[in-house]
Amino acid sequence: MAKTRRKPATVISVANQKGGVAKTTTVASLGAAFAELGKRVLLVDLDAQACLTFSLGVDPDVVEQSVNEVLLGKASVTDVLVECEDGVDLVPSVIDLASAEAHLLPRPGREYVLRTALEEVRDDYDVVLLDCSPSLGVLTLNALTASQGLVIPMPCEMLSHRGVGQLLDTVTDVQKILNPDLDVLGILPTMFDGRSNHAQEVLADVGERYDLPVLSPPIPKTVRFAEAPAVGRSILTTSRSSKGAQAYREVAAGLLTTI
């Protein structure tokens, strides 16, 4: 009897060109939550600062092959995979990725390089999460072109609204020109202080302002998130019963019903 063919992995970008919005924390935590739910998960670090790589216990300074070599056509995704303790696989990053955009710019079809590279492993995973750099450059365009879904982390502060509109303009262009299958899964409120009236007002305003789903529950502000990278694990391992860990579990479960 023929085996049922698995659905290829859903690729999800986690992007916001503003820094410090918990993109990396979101990728690491959602990845661990999906793994807890029995999903096969691949995380891809697309930031030259390599914060995701470090957060998952991998030293970027000793990585021999990374996403940089994948994007330059010098290695395949399977060549550079690292197994991490949270039950996920990682395509690590290194500082050399900072020069990748300059190398990609003159290449024909440069926006499709990552999408093409991921095709060989999509059948091996259920979910692929892309940790985007804080910019709207070629690497982020590669991520959006490779993805079926987009999650936008956004702190519950009014100043964090700035730039989201620009990101959504870019998404519209990508949908029209490069990837009509890209779907904005929602805005994920991060660093949420439920005691703050301002945070409550921003949370109420954000979905209406951008006419987008607001993923629930909001991710609470807690020092536990800062502690986790020091031991190379996600908060789901270092502080399993914390409100932050539970919030990411609920968001992950909700996303699985939509992707």
Domains of the chain: residue spans and CATH: 10-246 (3.40.50.300)
| 133, 47 Cβ separation under 8 angstroms | yes
71 vs 5, higher pLDDT: 71
- Per-residue pLDDT, averaged over 77-104, amounts to 95
Q: Mean of the pLDDT values across residues 209-225? A: 89
- Average model confidence (pLDDT) across the chain: 91
Q: Give burial (CB, 10 Å; 0-12/13-18/19+) of 218.
A: buried
Q: State the pLDDT at residue 180.
A: 98
Mean of pLDDT values over 202-212: 82
**Predicted local confidence at residue 194, as pLDDT:** 75
pLDDT band, residue 5 (cuts 50/70/90): low
Q: Is the peptide bond before 180 cis (omega within 30 degrees of 0)?
A: no
In percent, the amount of the chain with pLDDT more than 90 equals 73
Task: Compute the Cα dihedral for 10, 143, 40, 253 and give only its sign.
Answer: negative
Return the pLDDT at 1: 47
In the predicted structure, residue 163 carries a pLDDT above the cut 80: no
Under 8 Å between Cβ of 91 and 60: no
pLDDT the model gives residue 6:
76
- Regarding predicted confidence, which is higher, 187 or 204? 187
Residue 158: its pLDDT value, please? 67
Q: What is the pLDDT of residue 4?
A: 56
Whether residue 107 contacts residue 86, with contact meaning beta carbons closer than 8 Å, is answered with no
Q: Report, as an integer, the average pLDDT of 52-80.
A: 96
Mean pLDDT of all residues in 45-66: 96
pTM: 0.94
pLDDT of residue 91: 98
Q: What is the mean pLDDT of residues 50-74?
A: 96
- The pLDDT of 73-97, averaged and rounded, is 96
Q: What does the block give as tokens for 109?
A: 């079809």
* pLDDT > 50? residue 19: yes
Q: Which residue has the higher pLDDT, 224 or 116?
A: 116
